[in-house]
Amino acid sequence: MTSTPEATTSAPFSTIGIRTGALVFCGDEVALIRRDRADSTHYVPPGGNVEHGEDLAAALARELAEELDLDIDQAEGGDLMWVVDQRVTRPGPTPPPRKLHLIYRLHITPEVRATLAEVELDELPDGSHEVGVIEWIDYREAAELPIFPPVGPALAALPDPRAAVTDAALEAVTDDNYTWV
């Protein structure tokens, strides 16, 4: 039996997207983008969706340049820390995609940090922009923040920003353990 594209794309989680993001450290502080909405505030690691046919490393470099004005060549590291599988129902007319979040780790110097953006403009479907504020937060305080994907507890549990990560797969984010904000 063959399925039509309409049938495949109309079911929840029938498409899979990939988002690359980075925890950019400067000493013990990590860059997070704070998004203030009418009913909530949440934080996200800088990053974004991988475009069709785009290499993962190129997507990460593009997103960090767009959101932080960071030239990835000025950073050290780039190791994959965590993978988060997202299957969360969200509002809107289109079926929710399944999304894999690939979270990388980079380190920068205070000199590089001084050149980075302080706000990020995220383009919305209607062409307007949502303003995100780039905050530098002590990574040990991340467990208390509403971060998406929810990497805060794992981040805060690191003994130091360069500590080895033994298991890259974090708990999947589903309707059972997360409510869309």
| 152 within domain boundaries | yes
pLDDT at 8: 44
* Dihedral Cα 103, 160, 134, 113, nearest 10 deg: -110
Flag whether 68 is in a domain: yes
Number of structural domains found in the chain: 1
Copy the structure tokens of residue 80: 């994959």
The predicted pLDDT at position 1 comes to: 46
Query: Which pLDDT score, from 0 to 100, does residue 9 have?
Result: 52
- Whether 89 maps to a domain, the answer reads yes
Specify the pLDDT at position 58. 97
Show the domain range for 128.
18-174
Q: Is residue 179 part of a domain?
A: no
Question: What span, in angstroms and rounded, lies between the C-alpha atoms of 73 and 54?
Answer: 18
Report mean pLDDT in 10-residue bins for the chain, 181 residues.
48 89 98 91 96 96 97 97 92 84 98 97 83 97 95 97 95 88 66
pLDDT value at position 167? Answer: 92
According to the model, what pLDDT value does residue 112 have? 98
Q: What pLDDT is recorded for position 14?
A: 84
Does some domain include residue 10? no
DSSP secondary structure string, 66-127?
HHH---GGGSEEEEEEEEEEEE---SSSSPPPEEEEEEEEEE--HHHHTTS-SEEEEEPTTS
74: left (phi over 0), alpha (psi -120 to 50) or beta: alpha
The three-state secondary structure class of 34 is: strand
- The answer to the question of residue 9 being in a domain is no
The pLDDT value given to residue 142: 97
CATH number for the domain including 92? 3.90.79.10
Look at residue 8 and tell me if it is in a domain: no
- CB-CB contact of 72 with 21 (8 Å): no
